[in-house]
Structure 1
Amino acid sequence: MIDARRGVLYPDRMPRFHRLPPTPEAQHLAAWFWIPEWDPDPGETSRQEIVAYPALNLVVEPSGVQLVGATTTATHRDLTGRGWAVGALLRPAAVAALTEKPSELRDSWTLLAAPDLLEPIAVVMDGDEGDRLPHAVAIMSGWLAERAGEPTDAGLQANAMSELLMTDPGIRSAEQAATRLAVSLRTLQRMTHRHVGLPPLAMIRRRRLQEAAQRLRDDPGIDLAALAAELGYADHAHLTGDFRTVLGLAPSGYRQEF
């Protein structure tokens, strides 16, 4: 099971956060839905720092609907006032219905003209009904299913690829992933480029880095050399280099904050 909060660098700073599964009609299109709600004290800002999963997200907020591309570094957002968002971590099978070139959205995002999604979600989220979160998920699941149509063989194969790269700790190279999926390395590379916008090795490295950060939060005293070896890094220096490149600080600096 993919951990929806794994990429959150400082979970204790999170606002109210909900994770809900998609409805059956959208199970092949969204890994899960994430719904934060925030209302900090007047004048206060809540900074949320994320090292996101290697995937695209569809995000609905009061200001509009965004398709957010995969990222290559940690990102942050400063939350002020009262607000909410309804996001879907997209499976690759959903991507073709929303963009032809996900690689062009890397570290970026674009607005989607989708009033048929924004307006009903806003009505539900701004309302008082007790089941508004499942209702919002049902609306978004239905919208995705209608937009994407029936899953294609290529889409389902891309879903299997993403699940393998995002969850299997035994996969430490693109070659291993290609062998497991029974495709050529070139086919795997085309698949990740078309459905995620990142090369397969970048997806593997993101999974390892997320796990490393989570392990450091859970056990700040863990030996870094042993952690690096366990996660498949060549040595401690490679783990540190990954941290600095993506998070902007060394593992030792990160764990001092817990």
Structure 2
Amino acid sequence: MPAPDRVAALVHWFWIPEWRIAPGRASRQHTISFPGCNLVVESDTVGFAGPTTRASYRDLRGTGWAVGALLRPAAVRAFTDEPATLRDSYRSVPEPDLHAAVSAAMTAPGERTDAHRHRAVEAFTDWLTATVPAPTEEALLANVMADLVGTDPTVLTVEDAAERLHVSVRTLQRLAGRHVGLPPSTMIRRRRLQEAAERLRAEPATNLAALAAELGYTDHSHLANEFRSVLGYTPSGYRRQVHRDDTDPG
């Protein structure tokens, strides 16, 4: 769900999963997350998820919901001075007012509808605007940096990004460290990996060597190593798995 304009500098988007799993069963959700931090309200807690460096999973059981905000870099330092120390971690944070406001919206009487979800996002947004200080110039520059390396396919190196932003490589690395918790090179690699995974899903016949060259990998083995280290698959194995999942009638 898009972030309201009044928190557009603080939140990329809101996400609201809901689940109902049969008793005694579990549903394992695999993810390769956007390289950022999330603030998440669940039925029994508020959690802060640090930036991820690898694929992860969560086993869902019973009935539940969550309302999460993918934070933009400008919001991160309102919750931690050292986001790098929270890599691949999920910690409860004491924010009872946020929990109460979002929970009231999600558990209002009646069958849950889009109206409940929109009210939950509005409650989350109200809390953010009241709690998070206005972003500094440095924090806003970190937003621009993250948008650039996360969306521009022509940015293949840290030097490319620094040149486009008219800053030094050292400044770029400092921005990413203070406001994201990951090196800019890692953010660029994540974007390229997500592009590669999406291409293999959408176009299974894609030539892997050509794809590696197009995305700035030194060769096919470089792409394969990146896939294996983050997703646990080779590109060929990922392509077979996706195709099997998409064609499995069960």
Please give the TM-score of this superposition, normalised by the length of structure 1: 0.90
State the shift of 1:123 in Å. 1.6
Q: Equivalent pairs: percent with the same residue?
A: 52
Partners of 2:137 and 2:117 lie apart in 1 by: 31
| Structure 2 residue 81 is the aligned partner of structure 1 residue 100 | yes
Partners of 1:135 and 1:164 lie apart in 2 by: 31
Partners of 2:204 and 2:233 lie apart in 1 by: 15
The equivalences for 1:74-153 within 5 A come to 74-127=55-108, 128=110, 130=113, 131-153=115-137
Equivalent residue for 1:234?
218
Equivalent residue for 1:42?
23
The counterpart of 1:207, out of the listed 191, 208, 211, is 191
The equivalences for 1:22-33 within 5 A come to 22-33=3-14
| Structure 2 residue 205 is the aligned partner of structure 1 residue 224 | no
Partners of 2:7 and 2:126 lie apart in 1 by: 7
| Structure 2 residue 138 is the aligned partner of structure 1 residue 157 | no
Q: Secondary structure at the match of 2:218?
A: coil
1:29–1:145 Cα contact (<8 Å) kept: no
The amino acid of 1:229's aligned partner reads A
2:101–2:124 Cα contact (<8 Å) kept: no
2:105–2:123 Cα contact (<8 Å) kept: no
The equivalences for 1:9-28 within 5 A come to 20-28=1-9
| Structure 2 residue 181 is the aligned partner of structure 1 residue 197 | yes
Aligned length: 239
The amino acid of 1:103's aligned partner reads A
Partners of 1:142 and 1:97 lie apart in 2 by: 15
1:170-190 deviation digits (Å, cap 9, x = unpaired) = 000001101111111100000
Q: Which of the two has higher C-alpha Rg?
A: 2
CA RMSD of aligned residues (A): 1.1
**Structure 1: 5+ residue runs without aligned partners?**
1-19
Equivalent residue for 1:58?
39
Partners of 2:208 and 2:58 lie apart in 1 by: 29
Partners of 1:247 and 1:145 lie apart in 2 by: 36
Partners of 2:204 and 2:21 lie apart in 1 by: 29
1:125-167 deviation digits (Å, cap 9, x = unpaired) = 1223640111111111121122212222111111000100111
The amino acid of 1:116's aligned partner reads D
State the shift of 1:112 in Å. 1.1
Partners of 1:31 and 1:145 lie apart in 2 by: 15
Partners of 2:149 and 2:50 lie apart in 1 by: 17
The counterpart of 1:167, out of the listed 145, 151, 158, is 151
Runs of 4+ in structure 1 over 4 Å off:
none
**Structure 2: 5+ residue runs without aligned partners?**
244-250
**Stretch moving more, 157-166 or 136-145:** 136-145
Partners of 2:169 and 2:87 lie apart in 1 by: 22
1:25–1:142 Cα contact (<8 Å) kept: no
State the shift of 1:121 in Å. 1.0
Partners of 2:217 and 2:231 lie apart in 1 by: 17
